[in-house]
């Protein structure tokens, strides 16, 4: 970072706080926005320093938006965090479709392509896996044993074009009420993964006596058995060992055709990119998230789809989405999901503002309003085309939103069930998730963490914080990385073969 850049970053002229580019020692004097500021205490990297006086009970502004109210008088130079900044109820006004417009697509001749696997249903995969889907926790051990036999026992020898066998196991499926949203979500997830284009073949395995019957799933969601979609139950086959043997033979029958699949040139319209952030810090909304938003805009203009999610983590910033909805009905659906979450959390003795997490706070985030404003930046600036419920099939291109929890594995599981074949995950504290079958590009918000976790981070956006890189440059780098990874380049998670344990369907509703 050059010496003439202020040690704190002002994000909007109306803000009453700035963000420390690095740790600012107490007593440090500097100029920002034509004001002379002296740090009254040490300001940790990524944390907020006051650049204006704020009276007790008055709003504190960051990104030009309210992020909370002062719980004590704040003077210029003060460290602004948990001790003097309190959460307040969101009072944002929703302007439905106020900036509605058509998505500005590039001419067909200018749109980029990637090398992907064209499937029989017209979808295009970025990877070529065999998936084992379990209907119930009772078949999880069998599924993992089968996958290990191929991935670690030499079963894939001679099939270099098959990326692996993925066991999609979970902790539910039996003692669950079939009348709940949770049951609907589970069946949506399982059927959605069965359709995900990153799978060349699917084997569904149940125990046999569970509530979540495989036949019901296949019939309800129109899944037809054939050479590349097979089903079985452990009880029917006579136990664990016999099931492993029969299932292994079925997968061996799938492998030659899966291995013969070839990458061909495909339009970016076939990319569905899941947008995620986790382990956020004070830089997330400044560097990696807006850079990902820039990349998402680029993908959408080339005809692709970008999918934002994590409804509890857009609370207080949803007005930035409703105003760019293509119709008032789309905007209303988003507000309805926010209202559902408000009721849901109250019913369960919680509040939507029970956020940020411990790591978020250590990284400089104080309230959910502040976190949400940074999280929404991942969504870029394109029109909001549609809002989907959890794990619904995404059938619109452009920028869309899916209602999910803020818990990353659950959120991503819903996005992949909806059809996403790629994922970009921004993080300030550090994430190590892989999310098979989707290749996962992990983007660091700051250089210190990128260097410290260099075996997990694919891209560094820390240069935005130091002034050595623009958001536009970082966004272009992410966009180019997305195309390269979609075409077969391996992420760090893939190089280390991580990502087998992030399949987590949303558990909601009565368990008996």
Residues with Cβ within 8 Å of 230's Cβ and at least 6 positions away in sequence, in order, are 202, 203, 204, 250
pLDDT at residue 1 in the model: 39
Interatomic CA distance for residues 142 and 205, integer angstroms:
8
CA atoms within 13 A on the CB side of 212: 31
pLDDT in tens, 35-76: 999 999 999 999 999 999 999 999 999 999 999 999 999 999
- Cis amide prior to 356 (ω within 30 degrees): yes
Interatomic CA distance for residues 362 and 357, integer angstroms:
9
Contact 130, 162 (CB under 8 A): yes
pLDDT at residue 132 in the model: 98
Average pLDDT over residues 376-393: 97
Interatomic CA distance for residues 25 and 79, integer angstroms:
11
pLDDT at residue 354 in the model: 66
Average pLDDT over residues 152-181: 94
DSSP helix/strand/coil, 86:
strand
Contact 431, 291 (CB under 8 A): no
Q: How confident is the model at residue 349 (pLDDT cuts 50, 70, 90)?
A: confident
Tell me how far CA of residue 310 lies from CA of 105, 186, 389, in angstroms: 26, 17, 11
Please check the confidence at residue 480 and state whether its pLDDT lies above 70: yes
Q: How confident is the model at residue 266 (pLDDT cuts 50, 70, 90)?
A: very high
Pairing of β 164-168 and β 129-134: parallel
pLDDT at residue 508 in the model: 86
Please check the confidence at residue 91 and state whether its pLDDT lies above 80: no
pLDDT at residue 142 in the model: 98
Contact 233, 208 (CB under 8 A): yes
pLDDT at residue 60 in the model: 95
The most distant pair of C-alpha atoms in the chain lies apart, rounded to whole Å, by 78
Please check the confidence at residue 355 and state whether its pLDDT lies above 90: no
Q: How confident is the model at residue 95 (pLDDT cuts 50, 70, 90)?
A: confident
Pairing of β 422-427 and β 272-277: parallel
pLDDT in tens, 105-145: 999 999 999 999 999 999 999 999 999 999 999 999 999 99
CA atoms within 13 A on the CB side of 156: 19
Average pLDDT over residues 495-508: 94
Q: What is the CA radius of gyration of the chain?
A: 24
Q: What is the pTM of this model?
A: 0.95
pLDDT in tens, 189-207: 999 999 999 999 999 999 9
pLDDT in tens, 468-478: 999 999 999 99
Please check the confidence at residue 332 and state whether its pLDDT lies above 50: yes
* DSSP H stretches of helix in 179-327: 181-195, 214-220, 234-237, 240-260, 288-301, 319-322
Of 128-132, 315-319, 390-394, the one with minimum mean pLDDT is 315-319
Average pLDDT over residues 97-108: 89
Interatomic CA distance for residues 337 and 353, integer angstroms:
16
Which residue bears the tokens 């987590």? 504
Please check the confidence at residue 277 and state whether its pLDDT lies above 80: yes
- CA-closest candidate to residue 449, choices 441, 440, 459, 439: 459
Mean pLDDT of the chain: 95
pLDDT at residue 3 in the model: 46
Interatomic CA distance for residues 364 and 356, integer angstroms:
10
pLDDT at residue 346 in the model: 84
| Domains with residue ranges and CATH for the chain | 8-86 (2.30.130.110), 129-260 (3.40.1400), 266-495 (3.40.50)
Please check the confidence at residue 509 and state whether its pLDDT lies above 90: no
pLDDT in tens, 76-85: 999 999 999 9
């Amino acid at each position: 970072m050059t010496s003439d850049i202020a040690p704190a970053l002002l994000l909007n002229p109306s803000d009453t706080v700035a963000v420390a580019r690095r740790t600012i020692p107490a007593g440090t004097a500097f100029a920002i926005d034509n004001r002379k500021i002296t740090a009254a205490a040490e300001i940790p990297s990524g944390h907020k320093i006051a650049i204006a006086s704020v009276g007790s009970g008055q709003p504190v502004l960051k990104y030009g938006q309210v992020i909370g109210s002062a719980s004590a008088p704040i003077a210029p130079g003060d460290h602004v965090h948990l001790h003097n900044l309190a959460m307040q109820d969101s009072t944002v006004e929703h302007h439905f479709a106020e900036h509605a417009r058509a998505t500005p697509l590039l001419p067909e001749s200018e749109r980029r392509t990637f090398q992907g696997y064209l499937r029989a249903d017209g979808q295009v995969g970025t990877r070529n896996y065999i998936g084992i889907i379990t209907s119930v926790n009772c078949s999880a051990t069998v599924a993992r044993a089968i996958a290990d036999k191929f991935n670690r026992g030499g079963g894939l020898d001679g099939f270099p074009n098959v990326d692996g066998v993925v066991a999609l196991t979970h902790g539910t499926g039996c003692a669950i009420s079939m009348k709940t949203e949770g049951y609907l979500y589970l069946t949506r997830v399982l059927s959605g993964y069965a359709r995900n284009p990153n799978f060349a073949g699917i084997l569904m395995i149940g125990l046999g006596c569970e509530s979540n019957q495989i036949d019901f799933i296949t019939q309800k969601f129109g899944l037809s058995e054939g050479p590349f979609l097979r089903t079985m139950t452990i009880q029917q086959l006579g136990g664990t060992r016999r099931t492993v043997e029969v299932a292994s033979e079925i997968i061996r029958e799938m492998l030659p055709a899966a291995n013969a699949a070839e990458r061909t040139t495909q339009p970016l319209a076939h990319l569905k990119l899941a947008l995620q952030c986790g382990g956020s810090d004070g830089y997330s909304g400044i560097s990696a998230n807006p850079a990902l938003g820039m990349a998402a805009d680029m993908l959408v203009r080339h005809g692709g789809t970008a999918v934002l999610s994590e409804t509890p983590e857009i609370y207080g910033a949803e007005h930035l989405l409703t105003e760019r909805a293509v119709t008032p009905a789309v905007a209303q659906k988003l507000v309805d999901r926010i209202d559902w979450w408000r009721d849901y959390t109250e019913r369960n003795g919680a509040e939507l503002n029970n956020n940020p997490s411990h790591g978020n706070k250590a990284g400089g985030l104080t309230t959910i309003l502040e976190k949400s404003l940074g999280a929404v930046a991942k969504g870029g600036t394109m029109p909001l085309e549609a809002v989907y419920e959890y794990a619904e099939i995404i059938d619109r291109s452009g920028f869309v939103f899916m209602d999910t929890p803020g818990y990353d594995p659950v959120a991503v599981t819903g996005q992949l069930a909806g059809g996403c074949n790629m994922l970009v995950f921004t993080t300030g504290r550090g994430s190590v998730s892989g999310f098979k079958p989707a290749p996962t590009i992990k983007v660091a918000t700051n250089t210190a963490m990128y260097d410290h976790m260099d075996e997990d981070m694919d891209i560094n956006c820390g240069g935005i914080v130091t002034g050595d890189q623009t958001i536009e440059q970082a966004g272009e780098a992410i966009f180019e990385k997305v195309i390269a990874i979609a075409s077969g380049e391996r992420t760090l998670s893939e190089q280390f073969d991580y990502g087998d344990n992030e399949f987590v369907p949303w558990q909601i509703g009565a368990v008996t």
